[in-house]
Structure 1
């Protein structure tokens, strides 16, 4: 598992690209600068790992393009020590970005193949989320709630009610909403019953699947 000066140089170029596209959160940019994205991909994609593109990772899933990871992470406004729920661990790359930003990450993955491979990979890279779970992301992780923020890394037709319930007052939920194409949506919880909603344009994600387990 090598991370070379060449890889670091490519990451520096990627960070510059993300800045040019409007990513300004220094913690997000520094996490992307540090994390060896090529190690989260099949070795056949290694030469392309620092392009701003999504790639397949198995089980019909993808690793999101770096801009999407950075955009969602920036919307979360993560502070060191925040408890963050991630729905869709996938390759573990988004998890690694959040952990590197100082979050305590609780992550749920519903594809057993990905759950197993990512559970093995992250410790090898010295990335230590608080909790990795195999299960239905629609249900969240009520036993660890409430969360400072929640990130959903797959397209959802609706906002799952259990996730809204597991968000702290003042907390931020970032979710791509829609079927074929998704609108990046931010909900900020104002009180027990009210949420403020913001929309940030179209993105494309694999669908958030429910109740397979």
Structure 2
């Protein structure tokens, strides 16, 4: 995975856009879709159309806006990130979201993924615990004229007052599926995101609850993403 400049160095740096005019951002947005998203077989026309329209530059802190359309995972502060657009696009396409479905986006941060899913016709609840990220996110979805319901609460508890959901979508990696998912899904509901278990095989996944306890998990493609801090396992004690 490619990170922004203040993270681990990479051999290739994404282009820098010193021109922050509306037309420059619009041009960069179209290039993002054509060069980063469509080559990875993201062929759902709803996703392509939405990503051509969503002003991603407003979903990042002001000092990161020139990198908004670069092929980077962008730091948002406090261990949180905006995933690469190609990763977001593939995850959303994998989830096969249908009009009218009720979706909980966990770790919605600045709202880009929540807005994208809402533009597919879903009824979206965006869960975020950090007040500064939530402020950017609500301003972003308002500016983009996208209907998203925001909830500020600890990520680890989900949104029980708004459940059940047809899909719980984690906007970042998790190390295991949290317990709240089993009680906040509809009968045939699913969980989606990036799973990074102890064996180190980080991949995009869809999961459905099995009869009794446990999950039936399907892995789709290898994908790296930072783990959402709320879902990191405590470090094991070493002698």
TM range (shorter): 0.7 to 0.9
Per the TM alignment, residue 194 of structure 1 is displaced from its structure 2 partner at its CA by 6.9
Q: Distance in 1 between matches of 2:21 and 2:145?
A: 13
Aligned length: 209
TM-score between the two structures when normalised by the length of structure 1: 0.86
Per the TM alignment, residue 188 of structure 1 is displaced from its structure 2 partner at its CA by 3.1
Q: Distance in 2 between matches of 1:115 and 1:192?
A: 36
1:152 pairs, out of 154, 165, 170, with 170
- Does residue 204 of structure 1 match 2:222? no
- Does residue 111 of structure 1 match 2:130? yes
Give the equivalent residue in structure 2 for 1:178: 196
Q: Distance in 1 between matches of 2:70 and 2:59?
A: 14
Q: Distance in 2 between matches of 1:181 and 1:123?
A: 37
Q: Is the 8 A contact 1:182 1:202 kept in 2?
A: yes
Give the equivalent residue in structure 1 for 2:95: 76
Q: How does 1:30-179 map to 2 (within 5 A)?
A: 30-129=49-148, 131-178=149-196
Q: Is the 8 A contact 1:155 1:208 kept in 2?
A: no
Q: Deviations over 1:90-110 (max 9, x none)?
A: 111111111111111111112
Over aligned residues, Cα RMSD in angstroms? 2.5
For the pair shown, the structure with the greater C-alpha radius of gyration is 2
Per the TM alignment, residue 170 of structure 1 is displaced from its structure 2 partner at its CA by 2.8
Q: Distance in 2 between matches of 1:117 and 1:43?
A: 10
Q: Distance in 2 between matches of 1:156 and 1:208?
A: 9
Per the TM alignment, residue 191 of structure 1 is displaced from its structure 2 partner at its CA by 5.9
Which blocks of at least 5 consecutive residues in structure 1 are unaligned? none
TM-score between the two structures when normalised by the length of structure 2: 0.77
Q: Is the 8 A contact 1:177 1:183 kept in 2?
A: yes
Q: Deviations over 1:57-86 (max 9, x none)?
A: 223311111011111111211111211001
Q: Distance in 1 between matches of 2:133 and 2:173?
A: 18
Per the TM alignment, residue 148 of structure 1 is displaced from its structure 2 partner at its CA by 1.3
Q: Distance in 2 between matches of 1:31 and 1:98?
A: 9
Which blocks of at least 5 consecutive residues in structure 2 are unaligned? 1-19, 232-239
Q: Distance in 2 between matches of 1:40 and 1:3?
A: 16
Q: Is the 8 A contact 1:54 1:62 kept in 2?
A: yes
2:31 pairs, out of 6, 9, 13, with 13
Per the TM alignment, residue 174 of structure 1 is displaced from its structure 2 partner at its CA by 0.5
